[in-house]
């Protein structure tokens, strides 16, 4: 009898021990940890689903239909114009045209696209837009066709501005660029992943380049300068950068949920081949997708993604100059996570490998490139603000100031700092103009000299000869 008592005690103890281990495994499983992390984010008020990012917009504040109508008008106009006309527009607005262009073609393009530009101006009177169709079956198939068209609108507005300058209408030229700047700000109303932020900044760079050409040797009215300065101050770059990273995080959450609920293992393996595979060579099969529990595998990837986005958001919220050391650490950590050597076994026509982090590689962008772009957008914005403030100062004082500190507080609340090194923007008063510059992405002060390639070397410069 005593023997059976001991057997019963041992059996119960063993069952309790197994139950305890099972409980610990469950609460420490990646799936449970993901649910806890999402609950924490919701408690903090962070967006975790699309409806958090895209609240309903009242119909009387939504310009979406007008934007699409403007795009339709633009496409109809472009179909009527030969390719050479588009080339002429591109060369006309370039600071250093690469080839000859026809002013007749430029005039023809502006005349043909005038209705589209008029409709765009009407659309910009509405504070909101909802251009993206998020209802696709596969989240990664979301498309953003509007951005290429918005870029075309920006080029046309800059060309219109330069044309108005040729006719002696400097304030009109400023109005064209103001319209493009307003488009930049409106794009930020609808979160649209990294691609949207980069398109937004690209349109801003096109517009600033056009403004530099208009104002390098010409002067506008005080009213136009004040309108320009107000619009420049209105674009909150860091706000849109934060919303971009939040949007990417939400899309990652949605995609991981889709992978869990709807994607077959075969489809996941096909997606994985987008990273490693090609149309040639052996068929590549990620054994982790086929052999591991799918929910656990996806949750493992989602945890890495959520952790990475959290770190990126912390950096973005601190603003410029961005912490380069922490940014490099984040990038190094990401590379360690996703670029770990994978086990491979070649079986003739099939190559087997084991990679548990396939979804991370598929979904997350390189953050350092995004922060570099954001810093450049900040530099262009601040240089333009200072350039306009300098013109306002000269309107009232008949000369440019000796230092930028003289602009404070009447024209600027403070001297803007260089977003790359945190020091005040550099300024040099010229014989009849001025030069202001940021040290740029190479973190070297070249004395206000631009170098090639301009995006990664040399200074970012605004110079006026008048």
What is the C-alpha separation between 89 and 108, in angstroms, rounded?
Answer: 10
Q: 188 with 333, same domain? A: no
| Token digits of residue 107 | 């005039």
Residues 220 and 71 in one domain: yes
- In this structure, the answer to whether residues 167 and 250 fall within a common structural domain is no
Cα 419 from chain centre: 17
User: Of the residues 365, 387, 416, which one is the last residue of a structural domain?
Assistant: 365
1 part of a folded domain: no
Asked which of 213, 235, 257 is the last residue of a domain, the reply is 235
Domain shared by 258 and 209, yes or no:
no
Closest listed residue to residue 146, CA positions, set 132, 134, 158, 157:
132
Q: Residue 439's CB: how many other CB atoms inside 10 A?
A: 22
Cβ atoms of 214 and 173 closer than 8 Å? yes
Cα→Cα distances 178→161, 226, 234, 406, Å: 10, 11, 12, 26
CB 286 within 8 A of CB 361: no
Do 183 and 315 lie in one domain? The reply is no
Residues 204 and 249 in one domain: no
Q: What is the dihedral of CA 302, 307, 309, 311, to 10 degrees?
A: -170
Judge whether 272 and 355 are in contact, CB under 8 Å. Answer: yes
Q: Return d(Cα 355, Cα 352) in angstroms, integer.
A: 10
Residue 157 shares a structural domain with residue 299: no
- Tokens for 448, please give them: 């206000």
348: alpha, beta or left, given left = phi > 0 and alpha = psi -120 to 50?
Answer: left
Sheet of 343-346: strands edge to edge? Answer: 283-286, 350-354, 343-346
- Asked if residue 321 is part of any domain, the answer here is yes
Per DSSP, 281 falls in state S
Question: What is the spatial distance between Cα 384 and Cα 381, in angstroms, rounded to a whole number?
Answer: 5
Residues ≥6 apart with Cβ < 8 Å to 259: 268, 294, 298, 359
| Residue 289, domain member (yes or no) | yes
Domains contained in the chain, number: 2
Q: What is the token pair recorded at 145?
A: 């066709």
Q: How many angstroms separate the CA atoms of 276 and 262, rounded?
A: 23
If asked whether residues 152 and 282 sit together in one domain, one would say: no
pLDDT of residue 290: 92
Q: Is residue 84 located within the same domain as residue 212?
A: yes
Residues 6 or more apart from 386 whose CB is under 8 A from it?
Answer: 404, 407, 412, 416, 425, 427, 436, 462
Please, which residues have CB within 8 angstroms of residue 147's CB and are 6 or more apart in sequence? 187, 192, 195, 196, 199
Domain termination residue (choose one: 204, 235, 266): 235
Both 76 and 125 in one domain: the answer is yes
Helix (H, G, I), strand (E, B) or coil at 432: coil
Q: What is the dihedral of CA 397, 401, 405, 411, to 10 degrees?
A: 40
Q: Using an 8 Å Cβ cutoff, are 95 and 213 in contact?
A: yes
Q: Answer for the pair 299, 35: CB distance below 8 angstroms, yes or no.
A: no
Residue 314: inside a domain: yes
Range of the domain at 304: 244-365
Q: How many CB atoms lie within 10 A of CB 290?
A: 13
Residue found by looking up tokens 């590379």 in the block? 335
* Torsion over CA: 210, 213, 216, 222 (sign): negative
Does any domain span residue 225? yes
One digit per residue, pLDDT tens: the chain, 466 residues?
566 655 555 555 555 444 444 434 444 689 999 999 999 999 999 999 999 998 899 999 999 999 999 999 999 999 999 988 889 999 999 988 988 999 999 999 999 999 999 999 999 999 999 999 998 888 988 999 999 999 999 999 999 999 999 999 999 999 999 999 999 999 999 988 899 999 999 999 999 999 999 999 999 999 999 999 999 999 999 999 999 999 999 999 999 999 999 999 999 988 887 766 554 567 788 899 999 999 999 999 999 999 999 999 999 999 999 999 999 998 888 887 776 666 677 877 788 888 888 888 888 877 888 999 999 999 999 999 999 999 999 999 999 999 999 999 999 999 999 999 999 999 999 988 999 999 999 999 999 999 887 777 899 999 999 8
């Amino acid at each position: 009898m005593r023997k059976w008592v001991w057997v019963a005690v041992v059996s119960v103890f063993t069952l309790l021990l197994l139950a305890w281990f099972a409980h610990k495994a469950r609460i420490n499983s990646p799936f449970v940890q993901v649910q806890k992390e999402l609950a924490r984010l919701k408690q903090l008020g962070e967006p975790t689903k699309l409806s958090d990012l895209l609240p309903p917009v009242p119909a009387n504040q939504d310009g979406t239909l007008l934007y699409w109508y403007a795009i339709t008008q633009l496409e109809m106009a472009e179909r009527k114009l030969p390719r050479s006309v588009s080339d002429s527009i591109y060369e006309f607005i370039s600071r250093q045209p690469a080839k000859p262009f026809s002013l007749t073609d430029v005039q023809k393009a502006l005349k043909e696209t005038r209705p589209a530009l008029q409709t765009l101006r009407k659309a910009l009177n509405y504070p909101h837009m909802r251009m993206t169709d998020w209802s696709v079956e596969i989240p990664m198939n979301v498309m953003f066709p509007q951005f290429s068209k918005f870029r075309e609108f920006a080029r046309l507005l800059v060309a219109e501005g330069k044309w108005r300058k040729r006719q002696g209408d400097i304030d009109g030229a400023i109005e064209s660029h103001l319209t493009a700047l307003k488009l930049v700000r409106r794009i930020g109303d609808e979160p649209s992943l990294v691609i949207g932020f980069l398109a937004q900044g690209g349109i801003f760079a096109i517009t600033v380049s056009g403004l530099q050409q208009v104002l390098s040797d010409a002067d506008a009215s005080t009213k136009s300068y004040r309108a320009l300065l107000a619009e420049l101050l209105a674009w909150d770059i860091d706000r849109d950068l934060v919303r971009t990273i939040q949007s990417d995080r939400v899309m990652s959450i949605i995609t991981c949920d889709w992978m869990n609920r709807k994607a077959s293992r075969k489809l996941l393996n096909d997606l994985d081949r987008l990273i490693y595979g090609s149309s040639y060579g052996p068929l590549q099969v990620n054994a982790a997708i086929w052999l591991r529990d799918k929910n656990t595998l996806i949750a493992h990837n989602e945890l890495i993604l959520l952790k990475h986005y959290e770190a990126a958001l912390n950096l973005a919220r601190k603003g410029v100059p961005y912490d380069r050391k922490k940014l490099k650490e984040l990038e190094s950590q990401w590379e360690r996570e996703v670029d770990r050597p994978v086990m491979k076994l070649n079986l003739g026509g099939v190559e087997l490998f084991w990679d548990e982090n396939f979804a991370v590689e598929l979904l997350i962008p390189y953050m350092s490139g995004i922060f570099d772009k954001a810093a450049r957008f900040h530099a262009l914005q601040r240089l333009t603000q200072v350039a306009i403030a300098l013109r306002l100062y000269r309107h009232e004082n008949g000369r440019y100031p000796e230092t930028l500190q003289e602009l404070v507080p009447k024209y600027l609340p403070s001297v803007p700092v260089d977003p790359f090194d945190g020091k005040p923007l550099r300024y040099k008063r010229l014989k009849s103009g001025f030069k202001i510059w940021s040290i740029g992405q190479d973190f070297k002060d070249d004395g206000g000299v631009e170098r090639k390639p301009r995006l990664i070397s040399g200074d970012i410069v605004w110079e006026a000869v008048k």
